[in-house]
Structure 1
């Protein structure tokens, strides 16, 4: 981004800053001030940066996306919202970047567990947040993070004490209703020793052009377990940046399932730092059509011995869509006995679809088991011929094989309601002939 454009955002910041949460907190104002100064110098990432060489965000320069005040957040039709709100889950609903108490469902939470909006947590849990907010992203070289830190208007705070296991998942539902809106949200999830939780991030919009920028900082304590799901179904005119940054303690287990279906341009960052004997599993599916651009950037950093990680990402691209997968596994010198596997599989359904894939292994230890694999191609003609020999026409055969390729990632989801909604969305992206929901 040009300095002039960054200056436009910086100048606009002065008018919205008084309405941002946490104005009375000196530590937060210092954090925001440092982030604003960094963004003012660097702007949004450019193609000159290695981690952004395949993704051009200059289209954001054409508009000045602005956050809306809490009182001017749009209204959401209850029937429409129920299409996206999971039934057996606690939910926090953010409308245009602001918490909506009337739409959220938090009844029945254990008294020892804190699930609340970030604005509320900055008042009720400010001392705790001072220890965590900004810590998981410290050292990250990404000006989108600085942008989010300065501009965030609300978010989610989850704190699960030692030994507590949540009986139901927590859904964070992002809804954007207004054009040219900046929905910048910040989330902090903390699990203490041996705690367990499931959190679902859902992103939806009402067909407008807007910018959604969400940063989630995760802290998984010793022997704790967190499963995090992300369903990105933004408007096909929207821009999306989502960053998830994870700190895992000894024996901690973290699993992430990432599904990217929407937006015109989307970038997903998932970075995890592993301690001794930590486990990390990253699963992803991105499906693009028309002129969509979907970029997935992952990093698993093995810092201590005996850690294990598994990563499987699949892409399905049609029309003139473009996908990016940059997966990086780093094994530190002291991280002996690390066990890591990374796989990226991509299916191109048209001659104009494109995928850029860049798997990386950086190994500084000498006693490890690490590997990676990448494939890019079209449907196997032998498989199509096999189905045709069983009286299946060619178009139906292609539909069935494409769906089966993608559905493998959906089948990894163990929350039934979420699984069914993802399945419906996947079916909607492919022709229906040859694939019946009742068969699945």
Structure 2
């Protein structure tokens, strides 16, 4: 732990605190102060911690990032913004950690659906926020969660009432425009009983060094269904932590798609708690090039009987990139009849690329069906030879096989505008040259 940087953040907190939302609320003041104490004592996570053993964040500790206090400076180019907003979706824009009503597009949103900044929600819907904030994740989880809890500048409240079925997805577009900025956002998503919704979190930034620390707490009600997609395409100089923490009620269904493409050092946590007969599907694709470090950490807690979970993560790593996958499935003693499968597949395109994978099953029940599989390897030479025998040159054969490996995860996206955006980013960042769109 870099105590100097930690001490500087803590020392400047009193000056920053009056600018943070909800400071008139005693419960939030106490929550922030407890989180600040946790961060002051432990700082950012260390490789000495088991769940961070493959990821060293000391580079973040060498630089003091600062929040953007002047919201009037949070301007973006309108034409560029349109390229980031998805067609046929309600768009919520956050710039440098602040909700921007100016750039958001919420026309036609049903009156029963609540979408507002956390800053506004803490004034207008304080009891609702208090009931859920900090319930899906505790600030004791690790340093980035504690830091976010203490320092979050804004965020979004999304509330879909019971039996409401949204006809369009909601895109939460996080943009960082300033160098050395610290974008800390807290999002709460509530999907009540029998409701259905699709939410897309997109993280982008200009070509600067900055820190994103975003925490999303999700609550899926009884027999409700939420599909949540995260597309992380931060600047190649940026540092990113994004944590998604989910609580599923009885018979709830939750699907998560995680696409990690950007950032110099990026970490994504996805943790979910499953109630009786609930279902969870986690899909992920990470592409690493140059010296990128991309870490994905998942935790699925089966708490009650008859729940089902499926997980598939794939990584493609080139140059000196490093990919990390830590997947953990915990089956509680009462969670009989659990059905859980976890798979992680990694493709290394360079002798210097590295994949560290650690699947874990902790099973405390005796009537379950659980399994996991992991592979780390290079392209199959027999498959390359087969394509060459069909008059495909070796480079194209390698590109085709690599693209097919990654595209399996892209094809899981059913929203056309999102599918096209993810595919575009895959083609932009693809480690191999020569991938042709006419293969699609």
| Interval containing the TM-score (normalised by the shorter chain) | over 0.9
Distance in 1 between the 2:139 and 2:180 partners?
Answer: 31
TM-score, reference length from structure 2: 0.98
Q: Secondary structure at the match of 2:104?
A: coil
The match for 1:194 is 194
The match for 1:419 is 419
Q: Does 1:178 align with 2:178?
A: yes
| RMSD of aligned Cα (Å) | 1.1
The match for 2:26 is 26
The match for 1:37 is 37
* Conserved 8 A contact 1:44-1:57: yes
- Write the mapping of 1:11-410 to structure 2, written as runs, cut at 5 A: 11-138=11-138, 141-410=141-410
* Conserved 8 A contact 2:35-2:139: no
* Conserved 8 A contact 2:173-2:202: yes
Deviation per residue, 1:51-102 (Å, 9 max, x gap) = 0010000101211001011425432111111111001111110011111111
Shift of 1:157: 0.5
Q: CA separation of 1:23/1:140 partners in 2, compared to 1, >3 Å: closer, same or farther?
A: closer
* Conserved 8 A contact 1:95-1:177: yes
* Conserved 8 A contact 1:92-1:117: no
* Conserved 8 A contact 2:139-2:149: no
Structure 1, unaligned runs of 5 or more? none
* Conserved 8 A contact 1:70-1:98: no
Distance in 2 between the 1:432 and 1:57 partners?
Answer: 28
Distance in 2 between the 1:259 and 1:111 partners?
Answer: 31
* Conserved 8 A contact 1:230-1:257: yes
* Conserved 8 A contact 1:65-1:181: yes
Distance in 2 between the 1:359 and 1:73 partners?
Answer: 44
Deviation per residue, 1:146-195 (Å, 9 max, x gap) = 10001101111011111011111000001000110000000000111101
Structure 2, unaligned runs of 5 or more? none
How many residues of Structure 1 are paired with residues of Structure 2 in the alignment?
A: 440
Shift of 1:6: 1.1
Distance in 1 between the 2:234 and 2:217 partners?
Answer: 21
TM-score, reference length from structure 1: 0.98
Deviates more, 1:91-100 or 1:258-267: 91-100
Q: Secondary structure at the match of 1:209?
A: coil
Shift of 1:435: 3.4
